[in-house]
Amino acid sequence: MNNPTKKFSWKHKLHEIIYEADTPEGKLFDVILLIAIIASIILVMLESVESIDNKYHDALYVGEWIITILFSIEYILRVISIKKPTRYIFSFYGIIDFLSTIPIYISFFFAGSQGLVALRALRLLRIFRILKLARYIGASNKLMLALRASKAKIAVFLFFVLIVCIILGTVMYMIEGAENGFTNIPKSIYWAIVTLTTVGFGDIAPQTPLGQLIASVIMILGYSIIAIPTGIVSAEMNKTTPDHDHNTQSCPNCLKSNHKEKATFCYNCGSILNP
C-alpha cells in the first residue's frame, strides 16, 4: 500500500522539477534544458552551412544524436510526470517537441535518400524550441502591458498601412508596369511595403519619373507615419509608469490606497490621512 503513494510522490517530485522552477533541482533542470536548446539550435545552424557540414559531418551527427537522446528523455519524463499526458502531447510545445525529436529516428530506420530531405526540413522545426526561452522574459513586465494595452490602436495602424500599400502598389503597377520589375500587383504591393517601411532592398526600383515621384511620396509617408506606433507605445509607456501624482499611503480608517499626492483627507471615507 506504500508503493503507489511512493510512486505518486516520485511523479509529483518529477513534475515539480520539470514543470516548475521553484526548487534548486527545478532551476538546474531549467538551466540544462536552456543549454541543450541553445546547443541544438547552434547544431541546426552549423549543419545548414555546407562547408562546415562537409568538414565536421561525423561530429555534427554524433552531436545531433546526443541532443536527440536528451530531448527524447525529456519528452518521456514530461509525458509520465503529468497527470493527463494528452494535455502535454497535444499542446503546441508538445507537438513541437515530438516533431523536432522524431526525424533522426526515422532516418535511422528507413535510410532512404528521398524522404531524408523532407525529414531534414522537419528537423528545422527544432528552432521553435527557442520560444521556450521566451518564458524567461517574464510576461508580466511593463513592456508587454504597454503593448497589450495599445493592441487595438496598433491593429488600426497596421490596417491603415496595409490599405495604403495595396492602393499605392496597384498605382505603381499601372505606372511602371512589368518592364520595370513591377510584374504583377502582389509584387508591387510587396515593393510598396518594402518602401513604406523604409527597408528599401533595391531589387525593384522605379525607373519612370512619375514612378519616382510616387515612390518619393511613399517614402516620406513611411518616414512620417513611423511616428504613429512610436507615439502610441510612448503614450502607453508613460501611462504604465508609476503615477507620480498618487502616493502609496493607505487610509487609516477604510484602508483605501492610491490617494492623490497632496490629499489630506481620504477620498473614500473622509477621515484624515496620516501626514
Instruction: Give the nearest distance from C-beta 165 to its own copies in angstroms.
Output: 8
- What are the angstrom distances between the C-alpha of 142 and each of 23, 231, 238, 246? 27, 16, 10, 18
Q: List the grid coordinates of 246.
A: 498618487
Q: What is the four-CA torsion angle of 54, 56, 58, 64, rounded to 10 degrees?
A: -110
- What are the angstrom distances between the C-alpha of 131 and each of 97, 104, 134, 136, 260? 12, 22, 5, 10, 42
Instruction: Candidates 3-11, 82-90, 100-108, 149-157: pick the segment binding its own copies (CB under 8 A).
Output: 149-157
Q: How many Å apart are CA 14 and CA 9, to the nearest integer?
A: 8
Q: List the grid coordinates of 215.
A: 515612390
Q: Does the footprint of its own copies cover residue 18 (CB under 8 A)?
A: no
Instruction: Give the nearest distance from C-beta 228 to its own copies in angstroms.
Output: 6
Pattern of binders to its own copies over 208-247, x per CB under 8 A?
Answer: -x--xx-xx--xx-xxx-xxxxxxxxxxxxxx-x-x-x--
> Would you say 129 and 37 are in contact if contact means Cβ atoms under 8 Å apart?
yes
Q: Does the footprint of its own copies cover residue 91 (CB under 8 A)?
A: no
Instruction: Give the nearest distance from C-beta 229 to its own copies in angstroms.
Output: 4
Q: Does the footprint of its own copies cover residue 31 (CB under 8 A)?
A: no
How many residues lie near its own copies (CB under 8 A)? Answer: 101
Q: How many Å apart are CA 49 and CA 220, to the nearest integer?
A: 39
Instruction: Give the nearest distance from C-beta 100 to its own copies in angstroms.
Output: 12
Q: Does the footprint of its own copies cover residue 198 (CB under 8 A)?
A: yes
Instruction: Candidates 10-18, 26-34, 70-78, 129-137: pick the segment binding its own copies (CB under 8 A).
Output: 129-137
Which of 72, 107, 183, 249 touches its own copies by CB under 8 A? Answer: 183
Instruction: Give the nearest distance from C-beta 264 to its own copies in angstroms.
Output: 6
Q: List the grid coordinates of 79.
A: 509525458
The owner of cell 545531433 is 64
